[in-house]
Structure 1
Amino acid sequence: MHQMIYFQGMALGLGLIVAIGAQNAHVLKEALKGHYAFLIATICFVSDALLIAIGVSGAGKIVERWSFIVPVLSMLACFVLLFYGLDHLKMAYKKTSKLNIEDAGKSDLKKSVLKTFVITFLNPHVYLDTVLLVGSAASSYSSKNRALFAFGAMSASFLWFYTLSLIPKLFSKKLKSPRVWQGIDLAIGLVMISLSFDFFKRIEF
């Protein structure tokens, strides 16, 4: 049971993070240059972990004070997961995902770090995913299980960012393939929809 909660958190985390976006493209581009890859991956992981912790702890406080709002948060998580899942299936069907990495010149440390923070914290989707969605999904668990769920989501961030930083050349070639992204979108879509139905079954009205 506990392992399942951990892997649900990890599945949700991977579903949210393994997608083409400015943050992933930035991490991969810096890794390709061979400059500050570990540092940038660490910034992204720690930032995600911090926001996930805020979301889950905030959900815990909401549950303690206003337990009636749990079904509302859970339904919100279900609808967002379903929307994300269908959107990924749509992208898989239309083959619209692609990764474009340019400008492989030398990076300046301060500029690279600053850009990492800007891309991470000025992106509204980061707060929607880590704080609101993960927090809402975790709200239906007990306090102990919420922590386990959050740890699973954090583990997904850890695995993804350090994978991008450690094997950039091999990974980037794979990620440039539209067929690979079609498969990724399909897998993410199915996982998201499955999680949506699973969370819906556990809602207590």
Structure 2
Amino acid sequence: MSITPALTGFATGFSLILAIGAQNAFVLRQGLMKKHVFWLCLFCAASDAFLIAAGVAGFGALVEAMPSLPTVMALAGAAFLIIYGLMRFMAAWKGDYTMEIAGQSRGLWATLAIAAAFTWANPHVYLDTLGLIGAISTSYPDWPTRVTFGAGAVISSFVFFFSLGYGARFLAPVMQKPASWRVLDVIIGLVMWAIAAKLLLGVTNGTLH
């Protein structure tokens, strides 16, 4: 069997998650603190795997069957991103990064709960996995080839998240100063609000792209 579908799936999946988004920024921040990195990366990659498998299996029709779903998810996601972005701005304003520099963070379950919100409250995740990847997979008429394509996309998620989470520690020496954490939090806050604005704009215009 040709590996071309797997390579295509890998490239497609990787390109979709490569952009700096809310989920990626959170994984990066946890990676810098070296806390719960394995379980966080596993959760994010496994969530992607589930959605990609659903998309390849043909459940992308769910979005078409429930036209209000993208709007509801967009509003919920925007609200969460606005609040989390505000938290990052407040942290940057206070400038107390004793815990971060010491490598302390929230507990495992609290960390995974935040990751779940970033993952499952983001309508673009469904559009990318159930919609786009699911649609591309239909170009492969036989199931073995289609599954190979989906497997490539799933592998890309695992490679990306674990590379991001564990690769972040190479920046740790730079993050030993409160000023560095302050800059990071301001950037993350801006990213969160930019994504929230894009979601709300999509709701206003009736398009979620």
Residue of structure 1 equivalent to 2:160? 160
Q: In the alignment, is the contact (CA less than 8 A) between 2:31 and 2:165 conserved in 1?
A: yes
Supply the distance in 2 between the matched residues of 1:166 and 1:37 (Cα, whole angstroms).
7
Amino acid corresponding to residue 34 of structure 1 in structure 2:
K
Q: Deviations over 1:136-171 (max 9, x none)?
A: 000010211110000000011010011112221326
Residue of structure 2 equivalent to 1:109? 108
**Aligned Cα root-mean-square deviation (Å):** 2.5
Supply the distance in 1 between the matched residues of 2:171 and 2:5 (Cα, whole angstroms).
29
Residue of structure 2 equivalent to 1:193? none
Gaps of 5+ in 1: 63-99, 174-205
Gaps of 5+ in 2: 62-88, 175-209
Residue of structure 2 equivalent to 1:139? 138
TM, length-normalised to structure 1: 0.60
Instruction: Return closer, same or farther for 1:134/1:171 CA change in 2, 3 Å cut-off.
Output: farther
Query: Where does 1:1-205 land on structure 2 (aligned, <5 Å)?
Result: 2-58=2-58, 104=100, 106-141=105-140, 142-170=142-170
Supply the distance in 2 between the matched residues of 1:19 and 1:34 (Cα, whole angstroms).
22
- Aligned residue-pair number: 135
Supply the distance in 1 between the matched residues of 2:51 and 2:105 (Cα, whole angstroms).
30
Supply the distance in 2 between the matched residues of 1:167 and 1:107 (Cα, whole angstroms).
20
SS in 1 for 2:105: coil
Supply the distance in 1 between the matched residues of 2:5 and 2:32 (Cα, whole angstroms).
35
Q: In the alignment, is the contact (CA less than 8 A) between 1:11 and 1:156 conserved in 2?
A: yes
Residue of structure 1 equivalent to 2:202? none
Supply the distance in 1 between the matched residues of 2:119 and 2:132 (Cα, whole angstroms).
16
Amino acid corresponding to residue 113 of structure 1 in structure 2:
L
Q: In the alignment, is the contact (CA less than 8 A) between 2:34 and 2:169 conserved in 1?
A: no
Supply the distance in 2 between the matched residues of 1:42 and 1:117 (Cα, whole angstroms).
12
Identity %, equivalent residues: 37
Q: In the alignment, is the contact (CA less than 8 A) between 1:44 and 1:116 conserved in 2?
A: yes
Amino acid corresponding to residue 15 of structure 1 in structure 2:
S
Instruction: Return closer, same or farther for 1:23/1:148 CA change in 2, 3 Å cut-off.
Output: same
Q: In the alignment, is the contact (CA less than 8 A) between 2:10 and 2:153 conserved in 1?
A: yes
Q: In the alignment, is the contact (CA less than 8 A) between 2:6 and 2:149 conserved in 1?
A: yes
- In the TM superposition, residue 12 of structure 1 has moved relative to its aligned partner by 0.3
- In the TM superposition, residue 106 of structure 1 has moved relative to its aligned partner by 2.2
Instruction: Return closer, same or farther for 1:171/1:156 CA change in 2, 3 Å cut-off.
Output: farther
Runs of 4+ in 1 over 6 A off after TM superposition: none
Q: In the alignment, is the contact (CA less than 8 A) between 1:27 and 1:40 conserved in 2?
A: yes
Amino acid corresponding to residue 162 of structure 1 in structure 2:
F
Deviates more, 1:130-139 or 1:161-170: 161-170
